Amino acid sequence: MSRAAVGSVVASFAVFIVAWKLVVLVSGYPVFILPSPELVGARFVKAWTDGTIEPHALATLVEIGLGFALGAISGLLVGYALARSRRVERIISPYVVAAQATPILALAPLLSLWFGPGLLSKVVICSLIVFFPIAISSMVGVRSVDQGLLELARSLRATRRQVLTTLEIPGALPSIFGGLRVGVTLAVVGAIVGEWAGADRGLGVLVNLARGSLFDIPLMFATLATIALIGIALYSIVVFAERRLVGVR
Nearer to other proteins, 58 or 113 (CB): 113
Nearer to other proteins, 178 or 202 (CB): 202
Q: Which range of residues in 20-28, 69-77, 124-132, 183-191 is near other proteins by CB under 8 A?
A: 20-28
Q: Using CB under 8 A, which of 9, 215, 241, 245 touches other proteins? A: 215
Q: Residues 76, 138: contact at Cβ < 8 Å?
A: yes
Q: Using CB under 8 A, which of 6, 9, 18, 237 touches other proteins? A: 18
d(CA 72, CA 234): 14
Q: Using CB under 8 A, which of 167, 180, 188, 217 touches other proteins? A: 217
Nearer to other proteins, 19 or 232 (CB): 19
Rule CB under 8 A: say whether 198 interacts with other proteins: yes
Name the CA dihedral angle for 136, 140, 142, 147, rounded to a multiple of 10 degrees.
Answer: 160
Q: Which range of residues in 58-66, 87-95, 182-190, 199-207 is near other proteins by CB under 8 A?
A: 199-207
Q: Residues 22, 15: contact at Cβ < 8 Å?
A: no
d(CA 48, CA 67): 25
d(CA 126, CA 180): 14
Nearer to other proteins, 39 or 92 (CB): 39
The vertex-81 CA angle with 79 and 85, nearest 5°, equals 125
Nearest residue to 76 via CA among 188, 187, 179, 185: 179
Q: Using CB under 8 A, which of 123, 188, 199, 227 touches other proteins? A: 199
Site for other proteins in 101-130 (CB under 8 A): 109, 112-113, 117
DSSP at 3: H
Interface with other proteins: number of residues (CB under 8 A): 33
Rule CB under 8 A: say whether 28 interacts with other proteins: yes
Q: How many CB atoms lie within 10 A of CB 229?
A: 12
Residues 6+ apart with CB under 8 A from 115: 121, 124
Rule CB under 8 A: say whether 44 interacts with other proteins: no
Q: How far apart are the first and last CA of the chain?
A: 15
Q: Residues 155, 121: contact at Cβ < 8 Å?
A: no
Q: Using CB under 8 A, which of 65, 211, 231, 239 touches other proteins? A: 211
Site for other proteins in 147-166 (CB under 8 A): none
Residues in touch with other proteins (CB under 8 A): 11, 15, 18-19, 22-23, 26-33, 109, 112-113, 117, 196-200, 205, 208-209, 211-217
